[in-house]
Amino acid sequence: MKHQDQVVLVTGAGQGMGQEIVRHFADAGAKVGAVDINKEALTASVDELNGSVNGEVIAITANIAKSDSVRDAIAAVVEKFGRLDVIINVAGVGSFDTFIDTPDEHWDKVIAVNLTGTFLCCREAAKVMTKQGSGSIINVSSTAALTGEGPSHYCASKAGVMGLTRSISRELAASGIRVNTIIPGPTNTPMMADVPDEWTQKMIADIPLGRMGESEDIAKVASFLACDDSGFITGQNIAVNGGMAFI
């Protein structure tokens, strides 16, 4: 199996894209630390997966916007499995605010989870991977960061993720660590369920391939970036959006 015994940590693993990525890697034989702030949803997901996948999945409740919580989550994976080969930073939040009416607390929360949380996860994972001399860090941005079609806090946070990837990929390359970003287009996830239907239909109309993305589309690209097939790829922002926007 492609990821046999590879140790992977996935944030935002309780539902949607993160949950599917956990399933994809565990099906391929990986040992996965599934991280989410929602303990109930995470536990239910992991219990279901462990009865149906080839690898092993453990549930870790954590708030990725808090450095101590991130440190503890990564330590739990290393303690259980002995190493950390891949981290996939999926966790994200958003809210539907116009720029002028964005409350401070909404801006702070979106930046804290989407950008600061990704930074903290990258930093703590890199500490482990540097000692190993290898690793793959995979961040998740959004096509909204390319088009600007979305709330300002969300677009800014996801654009920041791409800049973070470019910077740390250069710094970490000498340690054998690759860092890349996946940029999904509109994807069928629980987060999209809150988007008004007229917005959804407009987004689909803007996608040349004529459909929404599926979580499996993202999981397959993450799988590629996590294995030796992509061994000469780092610092890249890879759009998986049906042709909706270009980098």
Q: CA 96 to CA 27: how far, in whole Å?
A: 35
In 3D space, the residue among 65, 94, 63, 45 whose CA is nearest the CA of residue 192 turns out to be 94
- Both tokens of 122, joined, read 């990258």
Q: CA 100 to CA 214: how far, in whole Å?
A: 32
CA 42, distance to chain mean position in Å, is: 15
Between vectors from CA 6 to CA 130 and to CA 9, what angle results, nearest 5°? Answer: 70
**Single-letter amino acid code for the residue at 157:** S
Q: What is the CA radius of gyration of the chain?
A: 17
To the query of whether residue 231 is one of the catalytic residues in this protein, the response is no
> Among 85, 154, 184, 225, which one carries the catalytic annotation?
154
Secondary structure of residue 242 in the 3-state scheme: coil
Catalytic residues: 154
